[in-house]
Amino acid sequence: MIDVAHDAGDASVSDVAVDSEFTQAELNSMILQQVQDALRRIDDGTFGKCLIDDGPIEKKRLDAVPWTPYCLKHQTLLEAAGRERNWTL
């Protein structure tokens, strides 16, 4: 059997690696859900329309992020609202 020395630094590096893998898995799951939602919008004829105001999503935005449910204006507003909410924590 091989003796492996473990110290606080080793544990810290291991924790960071696990956290990083978990974060990546969460991101992948979120993107998969967004892609599935976009496929449903294709099926029901609402793909390319912003979920907030039913306005068109910019072609350049759809080319870059085809699963996006929001136009750039509303995505920006949602992100800003999320940042403001985080300040109150």
Distance CA 51, CA 81 (A): 17
Distance CA 19, CA 7 (A): 18
- Looking at residue 70, the DSSP 8-state letter turns out to be S
Entry pTM: 0.67
Residue 47 resides in a domain:
yes
Residues 69-82 pLDDT 10s = 999 999 999 999 98
Distance CA 43, CA 55 (A): 18
- Pair of tokens at residue 50: 């912003």
What's the domain range around 26?
A: 8-87
Query: Coil, strand, or helix at residue 58?
Result: coil
Residue 33 resides in a domain:
yes
The number of distinct structural domains making up the chain is 1
Residue 1 resides in a domain:
no
Residue 54 resides in a domain:
yes
Query: Which of the pair, 32 or 7, is modelled with greater confidence?
Result: 32
Query: Which of the pair, 84 or 61, is modelled with greater confidence?
Result: 61
Residue 63 resides in a domain:
yes
Residue 55 resides in a domain:
yes
Give the domain CATH number at 66: 1.20.120.910
